[in-house]
Amino acid sequence: MDFMQGFLNSFVITAVAVFIILIFSSMTGYLFVRFKWKLNAILFFIMLASMALPFQVIMIPLVMLYGKLDLLNMKTTLLFMYLGFGVPFGVFTFHGFIKGIPYELEESAFIEGSSRLRTFFQIILPLLRPVFVTLIVLDVLWIWNDYLLPSLVLLSPEQRTLPLSTFSFFSSYSVDYGPLMAGLVMTIIPVLILYLFLQKQIVKGITEGALK
């Protein structure tokens, strides 16, 4: 097990994937709340419906499609898939929270000459901190510990994440349980530390989201 290479791959994939999921989700949720277009209602319903679709249902067609396009064994392909699977839940969460933010805050900014984009990043985004922290922990736990999707996309040994690297202790006829357990513990430690630092914000984000 090349722990440092696996750790670097997991860190890069997790950090970039969580960042793009949060940015896309927050902006899309804001768009659905503030712009009362009929198309928005349809798209929001489609996103909610997609959350009920298990990944295993589309797993084989998805891998076959990307294989034919010669896009497997690439971190960008994996990030694109994480974006697609992670955004619906993020949009659902941000949508419910943004609905509780008074629109008067934005109106006052517009009167002062602020643009829509600047208003979102300077006024709305700071108010979404509890939701951000909650989604960060949930998405980090999901992506950091994910085995199935990276095993289908990342084929070469140098691209493997930590969950894939721990599988190197399995052979056809035996398992090295000692190194395997040590590798699993070392894999868990980073996300455990993250949770311990952000646990208060997680509870706050869940309770505030429920109240709003």
**Predicted local distance difference test score (pLDDT) of residue 27:** 93
State which of 67-71, 105-109, 130-134, 187-191 shows the largest mean pLDDT: 67-71
Asked if pLDDT for residue 138 goes beyond 80, the answer is yes
The residue whose two tokens read 């960060």 is 136
The residue length of the chain stands at 212
Burial pattern 162-173, b for ≥16 Cβ within 10 A else e, equals: bbbbbebbeeee
Q: What angle do CA 46, 47, 52 make, to 5 degrees?
A: 95
List of domains in the chain: 3-211 (1.10.3720.10)
Asked if pLDDT for residue 188 goes beyond 80, the answer is yes
Asked if pLDDT for residue 97 goes beyond 70, the answer is yes
Q: Residues near 48 by Cβ (< 8 Å), separated by ≥ 6?
A: 88, 92
